[in-house]
């Protein structure tokens, strides 16, 4: 069936430029409206449309602090669970790409795959002599665990 999508974005945390300057993640709401044809009656020239509106909270990448680099990592586990890979990118404080990496890893639960990605991202940055490193992951549980366990002793 046919459909069309409209996307609107609204910012929740004030001015986009100011947030980027502060090097914070910005929360953004994306509202997607989709209209789909769900049924047709050719005899009556009738088309039944269904409109669905969905709101998603998006986190948007923002620059790191001045003279710092940001390491953004992610892990992937195949749907059948037998293959996994990780990757990451290092960006400078201006948001420009510096270097990236990918590698295949052993298939383990996704939390462990994401943890491997973050660990390898830290090693990757450290081996390239970056000492002011900000880490970013899309796995909320991993970030929470690291903040709660190490946050009291380090600036995470």
Q: Is residue 155 part of a domain?
A: no
Parallel/antiparallel/unpaired status of strands 84-91 and 69-77:
antiparallel
pLDDT on residue 125: 94
- Whether 36 and 75 map to the same domain: the answer is no
Q: Which of 40-44, 98-102, 149-153 has the highest mean pLDDT?
A: 98-102
Instruction: Please tell me the pTM assigned to this model.
Output: 0.58
Per residue in 73-123, pLDDT tens?
999 999 888 999 999 999 998 889 999 999 999 999 999 999 999 999 999
* Both structure tokens of 69: 């680099």
User: Does 83 share its domain with 32?
Assistant: no
Amino acid 152: pLDDT = 62
| 41, 93: one domain | no
CATH number at residue 94: 3.30.420.10
């Amino acid at each position: 069936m046919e459909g069309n999508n409209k996307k609107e974005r609204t910012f929740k945390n004030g001015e986009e430029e100011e947030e980027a300057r502060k090097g914070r993640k910005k929360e953004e709401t994306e509202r997607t409206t989709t209209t789909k044809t769900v049924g047709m009656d050719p005899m009556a020239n009738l088309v039944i449309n269904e409109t669905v509106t969905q709101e998603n909270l998006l986190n948007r990448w923002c620059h790191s602090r001045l003279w710092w680099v940001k390491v953004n990592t992610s892990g992937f586990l195949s749907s059948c669970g037998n293959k996994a890979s990780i990757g990451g990118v290092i960006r400078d404080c201006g948001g420009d790409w510096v270097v990236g990496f990918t590698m295949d890893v052993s298939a383990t639960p996704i939390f462990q795959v994401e943890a491997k990605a973050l660990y390898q991202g830290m090693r990757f940055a450290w081996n390239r002599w970056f000492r002011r490193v900000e880490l970013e992951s899309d796995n909320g549980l991993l970030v929470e665990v690291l903040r709660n366990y190490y946050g009291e002793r380090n600036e995470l």
